[in-house]
Structure 1
Amino acid sequence: MGGVFVLRKPRNGNKCRRFDRCNTMRQTETELFLEETRERRRGRRRSFFLDMILLFRPCSYNILFLSLLLLSSSSSSETDNLSPRNQTLRPLEELNKLKAIQQHLRKINKPYIKTIHSSDGDIIDCVLLHHQPAFDHPRLRGQKPLEPPERPRGHNKRIGLRPKSFQLWSMEGETCPEGTVPIRRTKEEDILRANSVSVFGKKLRHFKRDTSSNGHEHAVGYVTGEKYYGAKASINVWAPKVQNQYEFSLSQIWIISGSFGNDLNTIEAGWQVSPELYGDNYPRFFTYWTNDAYQATGCYNLLCSGFVQTNSDIAIGAAISPSSSYKGGQFDVTLLIWKDPKHGNWWLEFGSGILVGYWPSFLFTHLREHASMVQYGGEVVNSSPFGTHTSTQMGSGYFAEEGFTKSSYFRNIQVVDWDNNLVPSPNLKVLADHPNCYDIQGGSNRAWGNYFYYGGPGKNPKCP
């Protein structure tokens, strides 16, 4: 690796006695030479040393192997050291990065009693309830998950699809044993896609494009001005196209309290397409939380100590299937988030009466009491330079005016009041940051209650 490939003459004489044999040898050597040249020009993202360590992964913990690797690099010839590629190598830096990744993987990937390999490439580990990442938190260490609370009055459990019907990992009949929770295993390549270990699993709030934008664009319905203790809505699921791995497209409910400065508290749940976080373009069920405006606290799913999962059928971060199709079948999921009046924790229900788990109240400052705003809708990251716009889609990728079977929607939008009652969202307003790129239209009827259509294609003639 890294040497010069030289075309050699056949060993048995200066001439080939058989033309076809000689031609085959020249062709093979030429192909190897061209492949070597292409490989060297490709400019692989990871360094030689990290590639070697990952290649010999079973030995990655072997200090002797790493020492020999570094020693061999230091004894390279003077000619090799003068090559442009070798001048950029930082073996100690790469080694420290790998150590940090392995340490983080050991922290979030807990011991399991069963492993399930999903058809989409995910590995689902069945982890004992009290071994999940949430119980690394000092306030939860040594405890067990709480019993389910009383649901809000006016909430009807729909008789519908069971969890195995809409998550890929369980479609072949695989389940986690009772007393365990299914957790999507984090891999080395997942963390390598992030800028660093410290930001892995976090929603980067500021993706600077210009002086007036942080790169996040929204089309949302919202209520404010009262005290809110929860929210509920049904959302149809799509698989929007995302332009590159540094962008995402999501649809979710936000439970919000505090100012939009450094003390913002949010609880979030919905579906998202995020190539950077998951490595693919599947729509996935996700959760999020923060108590300092996305700065140091909080994370997606179970990637830090925070959310306590209680359900053995749902894997947070796993792909949702099926999804809705344009002019075709529509598939939606119902989400309910509410504050337990007795203990003050915020609980999450997914689908037809399936309790997923809860966010302990001590994680928050303002949300220990109540929410001051609830939002429903879509969000994308636009990383394109100023003057252009991303083609990342929101929702179905079609504008709100397209309507049913074409546009994405939220329906039966409700909030939980001070007395633990589910009521229609009063004074629901709608807002789109960039209506020529993604828009929203609200309405109300007897079948859907308060609802809205939203979304769009991003870049189009009206959205430069």
Structure 2
Amino acid sequence: MRPSYHPNWIKDDNITSSKGKAITQLWHSNGKCPKGTIPVLRTNEEDVSKHVKKKSLPFAYSIDPEFTSLNENHEYAIVRTQGNFFGTKATFNLWNPKVQENDEFSLTQLWVTAGPDSDVNTIEAGWQVYQGKYKDATTRLFIFWTSDGYKQYKCYNLDCPGFIQTNNEIAIGGSLSPTSQVDGSQYEMTILIWKESKEGLWWMQVDGNVIGYWPASLFSYLSESSSRVDWGGEVINRRLGGHHTTTQMGSGHFPQEGYRKASYIRNIEIVDDSNTLRSPQDLLTITPQESCYDIVKGINDNWGSHVFYGGPGQNPNCP
């Protein structure tokens, strides 16, 4: 199955294609998946025990208390736009931040959102370091969705039925390499998510490769369109011993340090009601703990609408 159409590009030829280098997944060195199959992470007994099936539900749901934007332990450095949207596209540079505890994570992603906070629908995609989930500290491609405000109906990757993968070359939840280095090479990943109105499917594309789709039947508010889109970083802060976590966001450097030190998201665009990619208007900056993690927005001809973001966590100004 393939999408029947893609969003229309605006002056894409005039945007610098990339200052970053291509990324890959480690399993590619061992071959490819045959036609008609997809790559999946190996599943063990512990993974299975985290998931519950209820006869009244059409799918299993993931019990993962760590992943909820309503959790007070979560901290953000993001930009937001509100309106009526049908997708988004952005390029993220890739890092391998240090995470203090196994039950903390550091991620960079986009959020496509609709509905009130108490019952919010979201589609989320990006990269993360989360040893408590993946059993290692590698940087991984991930997706996530919820249809009821992060309560029962929520799911990471392919952990439960929901997202339909159609690509046999990209492993969702798989590691990404190489990662960017401070004052060194920068590596990037471009994610596009858009709604196909004919079938109501939300499609996802990574670096030009169509990965699969979320059926409209998963959602209530997102079955029509998105009312909000966010881009940026998120960490869990357990505040162990009364001190802020040392978990890094992005590169671990503040955005004011700029290119090749700070993390960035560039060529940020939204899909409007004419199925056209455009720069978002009136981006709102949200940085509740700017002495720990911060974000700075900008716009120019080469990078379009973009942000630098991140931080080290605990530091003299963030004790």
Give the drift of 1:175: 0.2
* CA distance in 2 between partners of 1:206 and 1:417 (Å): 27
- Pick the aligned partner of 1:336 from 183, 192, 201: 192
Aligned equivalent of 1:27: none
1:221 equivalent to 2:82? Answer no
Give the drift of 1:203: 5.5
1:282 equivalent to 2:138? Answer yes
Conserved 8 A contact 1:409-1:454: yes
- Segments of 5+ residues of structure 2 without an aligned counterpart are 53-60
Map residues 265-344 of structure 1 onto 2, 5 A cutoff: 265-344=121-200
Cα 1:159/1:445, change in 2 over 3 Å: closer
Give the drift of 1:204: 2.9
- Segments of 5+ residues of structure 1 without an aligned counterpart are 1-145
* CA distance in 1 between partners of 2:131 and 2:48 (Å): 12
1:333 aligned counterpart, secondary structure: strand
Conserved 8 A contact 1:190-1:279: no
* CA distance in 1 between partners of 2:172 and 2:69 (Å): 25
2:117 aligned counterpart, secondary structure: coil
* CA distance in 1 between partners of 2:211 and 2:64 (Å): 21
Conserved 8 A contact 2:23-2:187: no
Aligned equivalent of 2:247: 392
Aligned equivalent of 2:106: 249
Conserved 8 A contact 2:23-2:188: no
* CA distance in 1 between partners of 2:63 and 2:240 (Å): 24
2:35 aligned counterpart, secondary structure: coil
1:204 equivalent to 2:59? Answer no
Cα 1:332/1:455, change in 2 over 3 Å: same
**Cα deviation 1:10-61 (Å, max 9, x = unaligned):** xxxxxxxxxxxxxxxxxxxxxxxxxxxxxxxxxxxxxxxxxxxxxxxxxxxx
2:113 aligned counterpart, secondary structure: strand
Conserved 8 A contact 1:228-1:371: yes
Give the drift of 1:345: 0.7
Aligned length: 305
* CA distance in 2 between partners of 1:185 and 1:359 (Å): 22
**Cα deviation 1:303-324 (Å, max 9, x = unaligned):** 0000000001000000000100
Q: Select the structure that is richer in strand.
A: 2
Map residues 62-461 of structure 1 onto 2, 5 A cutoff: 146-154=1-9, 166-170=24-28, 172-190=29-47, 196-198=50-52, 202=64, 204-205=66-67, 214-224=72-82, 226-261=83-118, 263-351=119-207, 353-385=208-240, 387-461=242-316
Give the drift of 1:205: 4.5
Cα 1:445/1:207, change in 2 over 3 Å: closer
* CA distance in 1 between partners of 2:68 and 2:229 (Å): 21
- Aligned-CA RMSD value: 2.2
Give the drift of 1:334: 0.3
Conserved 8 A contact 2:62-2:152: no
* CA distance in 2 between partners of 1:301 and 1:280 (Å): 17
Give the partner amino acid of 2:139. P
Conserved 8 A contact 2:86-2:194: yes
Conserved 8 A contact 1:207-1:383: no
Give the drift of 1:292: 0.5
User: Matched residues, percent identical?
Assistant: 45
Give the drift of 1:188: 3.0
Which protein, 1 or 2, shows the higher relative CO under an 8 Å CA cutoff with sep ≥ 6?
A: 2
* CA distance in 2 between partners of 1:222 and 1:381 (Å): 20
* CA distance in 2 between partners of 1:207 and 1:148 (Å): 30
Cα 1:214/1:291, change in 2 over 3 Å: same
**Cα deviation 1:183-241 (Å, max 9, x = unaligned):** 1112235567xxx5458563534699xxxx710000001101x1010001000000000
**Cα deviation 1:111-161 (Å, max 9, x = unaligned):** xxxxxxxxxxxxxxxxxxxxxxxxxxxxxxxxxxx332200001769999x
* CA distance in 1 between partners of 2:67 and 2:102 (Å): 16
Conserved 8 A contact 1:438-1:455: yes
Aligned equivalent of 2:55: none
Conserved 8 A contact 1:202-1:294: no
Conserved 8 A contact 1:153-1:420: yes
Moved over 6 A (4+): 157-160
* CA distance in 2 between partners of 1:387 and 1:402 (Å): 28
**Cα deviation 1:48-77 (Å, max 9, x = unaligned):** xxxxxxxxxxxxxxxxxxxxxxxxxxxxxx
* CA distance in 2 between partners of 1:355 and 1:215 (Å): 34
Q: Which has the larger radius of gyration?
A: 1
TM-score normalised to structure 2 length:
0.90
